[in-house]
Amino acid sequence: MYGIFRRSGKLAWIFYLTAVVIIGAGFYLLVNHNLGSNRNKDEAVHSISLFFDLCDQEKSDRERLYCLRDMATDVLDQYGLSQVMTALETRVIQKNSENPVPKCHTEAHILGAVSGESMDNLGEVMVQCGRSCGYGCVHGAALGALRKDPGILDRAASICLPFVASKIPGQDLTACNHGLGHGFTEIAGRDPADSFLLCDRLNSANDKQECATGVFMELFETSVSVDQAVIELPNDLSIFCKTIPIGYQKWCRNKAGTHEYRKTQNTGQARKACENLEVGLVDSCFGSLGAYYHFIFNGNVVKIWEGCQASEESETRSCLFGALGSTLVTDSSGALGRKLCSLSSGQIRTACLKRLDDSLEQIYETP
């Protein structure tokens, strides 16, 4: 190339210098554009954090949630749901770095519900929600969309179909069906029997049971509707289970262990509640209990393992399998699940690791 410049003389050097200046100017603009983008991103995160900080100053938790709901529209309009959700989870992780499960599910419910009411495309809202905060935003979005347009009920069976082909099909589809359960409960006027009946509009038995978990949560655990208080279950769960449609009664009895833990905060009592069920329900009750422990204990694998240890090996294994499923909701890499499995030994440990590997293979298989 130097020979060309030498033969062409001064004119070639002018072209060469001009090219250097243009390239240099382009690089300068590119760098400054990236710096500007980073500044804008940092400013957005800071502004969104101020929004959450302001609501944190409220005296009670319910007033804080009212604040989030009332101010959410302006923040979402300015920064978009995806960016607000990312900022929320990042903020929670930074404040509680030792906690592997970010505690922002209820806040995400509210942001999703507000977006579901204001946006026309429920699927798009759910995509923007992402998997942050244990899919709380997805759950809220379904309720918000149903609140805005109850006519969605007519196509309830097809709402979650796009998630069948998503990157993590099992978890995404489960979150969508669960979210519909939250929404159906409000549409049904929070009547338990009518809420469960609406889940019958979904396709498979699995879809219906995932929907039922949303109904149960909305009624008795954490309501997406800030204005609604959860209902107190009777001391004897079997009494309540007899009041809902027969297709959900067996599933309801599987909640005996989690219900007992909510009442007593005692893992031993929770285990006994599962052990006292008819033989065909015991293992599934322990599975439900393990899934519940992951969130209640904020991913603390030592507490989960201690809570899952039962008198029968099959019961311990079922509890661990349930917990593994929940760990993958908050850590799809499987690292947290491996930590949990490592606390066990022998055949239980082997079965635990195999279950985890099989689940990861299913999660990341190509649709």
The pLDDT assigned to 165 comes to 63
The pLDDT assigned to 51 comes to 84
Q: Is residue 19's pLDDT more than 80?
A: no
Query: What average pLDDT is seen over the chain?
Result: 81
CB 308 within 8 A of CB 323: yes
End-to-end C-alpha distance for the chain, whole angstroms:
51
Comparing 36 with 351, the larger pLDDT belongs to: 351
The upper half-sphere exposure of residue 106, i.e. CA atoms within 13 Å in the direction of its Cβ, equals 15
The pLDDT assigned to 319 comes to 97
The pLDDT assigned to 218 comes to 84
Nearest to 68 by CA among 294, 36, 60: 60
Contacts of 38 (CB under 8 A, 6+ apart): none
Over residues 217-227, the mean pLDDT reads 71
Q: Please give the Cα distance from 50 to 78 (Å, whole number).
A: 14
Comparing 277 with 30, the larger pLDDT belongs to: 277
The pLDDT assigned to 98 comes to 67
In sign, the C-alpha dihedral spanning 155, 158, 160, 163 is: negative
Planar angle of CA 133, 134, 139, nearest 5 degrees: 100
Over residues 103-123, the mean pLDDT reads 86
Rounded to the nearest angstrom, the gap between the alpha carbon of residue 171 and the centroid of all alpha carbons in its chain is: 9
Question: pLDDT tens, 126-176?
Answer: 888 887 787 888 888 888 888 888 888 888 888 887 776 665 556 778 888
The pLDDT assigned to 100 comes to 65
Q: Please give the Cα distance from 304 to 307 (Å, whole number).
A: 5
Q: Please give the Cα distance from 37 to 22 (Å, whole number).
A: 22
Element (H, E) at 272: helix 267-275
Q: Please give the Cα distance from 214 to 329 (Å, whole number).
A: 16
- Rounded to 10 degrees, the C-alpha dihedral 301/261/101/48 comes to -160
Q: Please give the Cα distance from 134 to 105 (Å, whole number).
A: 6
The pLDDT assigned to 166 comes to 61
CB count within 10 Å of CB 78 equals 13
Q: Is residue 308's pLDDT more than 60?
A: yes
Comparing 226 with 5, the larger pLDDT belongs to: 226
The pLDDT assigned to 225 comes to 62
Q: Is residue 333's pLDDT more than 70?
A: yes
The pLDDT assigned to 36 comes to 39
Of the listed ranges 67-71, 91-95, 107-111, the one predicted with least confidence: 91-95
CB count within 10 Å of CB 258 equals 24
Q: Which class for 174: exposed (0-12), middle (13-18), buried (19 or more C-beta within 10 A)?
A: buried
The pLDDT assigned to 12 comes to 41
Question: pLDDT tens, 229-261?
Answer: 677 777 788 888 999 999 999 999 999 999 999
Q: Is residue 30's pLDDT more than 50?
A: no
Percent of the chain with pLDDT over 70: 81
CB count within 10 Å of CB 260 equals 24
The pLDDT assigned to 168 comes to 59
Give me the DSSP letters along 106-129.
HHHHHHHHHHHHH-S-HHHHHHHH
